[in-house]
Amino acid sequence: MSVTPGLTVLVEERAELLRGRRVGLLCHAASVDEQLVHAADLVAGVPGARLAALFGPEHGLAGAAQDMIPVTEPESRAAAAEAGAEPAAVHSLYGPTAESLRPTAEMLAGLDVFVVDVQDVGARYYTFVATMGLCMEACGRAGVPVVVCDRPNPIGGVAVEGGRVQPGWESFVGLYDWPQRHGRTAGELALYLAASGAARCELTVVAAQGWSRAASFPETGLPWVLPSPNMPSFDTALVYPGLCLVEGTNASEGRGTTRPFEVFGAPWVDGRKLAAALEARGLPGVRWRPLVFQPTFHKFAGETCGGVQLHVTDRAAFRPVRTGCEVLAALRAAGGERFRWREEPYEFVSDRRAIDLLAGGPALREAVDAGRPVEDVCAQWEEEAAPVREALAEHTLYA
């Protein structure tokens, strides 16, 4: 399979959308074509187009900042210069406040078109699509048309898992009401947001060419570029929709190791017992290996942790969201009083627990604390999310 990303299609076949216009571009480190040429250089190279402004999401234009670290405008400008792009303005859309997450009217003033090219990984918590939606909302109010350059969903566009974001539990990691593993591309989600009124704007989606929904990223022939510092590989993306839930606990999700989200644990974990407990749950498409690790930063930096590495043995059978829920239950049982839910502020929210923001409500946490089967929560999520899955499927660009 040979896939052409929407970015290439835009500059080679749809360049009329850019010519004679002042262009704003939302992008990051993974915004490259098949030859690893960055979107900023490609857009700036279109005859008659002027790259007037760059906008960087969480982790910044260079993708260097760690999770929840504000990115300043000087840092964004330095990243733009490193990429060789010299737009008139450079803006960070991940600063120290929730208000910094969306572009202001002043940032959009003078732009004729706003181009989005971000690599999503197929999970609701991954914030690039939330930034896309906030930009669409702002552009709609400002009268600036939006062009989304689409890319494949790296973990495939068939399987969908998880539940809805319950009213009152919205946040930057659950801004829009779709399942944790949504099975859509950024372009398809943009169409849904515009049609539903959640982010109404004048929208054009430039589809990727050659991708089919059943294909995962290794089949596309495209190079993998880290879209964020702790998304080093396709394997990470595959497990992320479930193992990101560990962020909502005091256990390490493997940040500070070379296999984030595939490795998890804590100083109080017996890796052999935890691996055996998870193996006994009989989850499809995955095996468990005990290990000892020492994060270089983030939770337990420099401390020795017992833990587990999960190994996906069957990508088609593997269900990351269900797996992540079972990991939480196993960690809770292993840790006893030493296990706790994260209480620190999380993605600009301080009055609700991180795990509830990630799960879209308190049901998962309450089940884990009560020792109830998490498979019941997953089944409830599937039932509640059925109408959303149907609505999302109405905006399908790929067979």
Q: pLDDT (tens digit, 9 = 90+) per residue, 266-298?
A: 999 999 999 999 999 999 999 999 999 999 999
Q: For 207, phi and psi rounded to 5 degrees?
A: -70, 150
Q: How many CB atoms lie within 10 A of CB 81?
A: 11
Q: Is the pLDDT of residue 83 over 60?
A: no
What are 303-357's pLDDT values in tens digits?
999 999 999 999 999 999 999 999 999 999 999 999 999 999 999 999 999 999 9
Instruction: Tell me how far apart the alpha carbons of residues 107 and 197 are, in angstroms, rounded to a whole number.
Output: 23
Query: How confident is residue 68, by pLDDT bands cut at 50, 70 and 90?
Result: confident
> Across all residues in the chain, what is the average pLDDT?
95
For residues 307 and 264, the answer to whether their CB atoms sit within 8 Å is: yes
Query: How confident is residue 72, by pLDDT bands cut at 50, 70 and 90?
Result: confident
Query: Could you give all domains of the chain from N- to C-terminal order, each with its CATH number?
Result: 6-221 (3.40.50.12170), 234-361 (3.90.1150.140)
Place of tokens 């959308």: 17
For residues 166 and 361, the answer to whether their CB atoms sit within 8 Å is: yes
What are 217-236's pLDDT values in tens digits?
999 999 999 999 999 999 99
Sign (positive or negative) of CA dihedral 96, 99, 101, 104: negative
Q: Is the pLDDT of residue 39 over 80?
A: yes
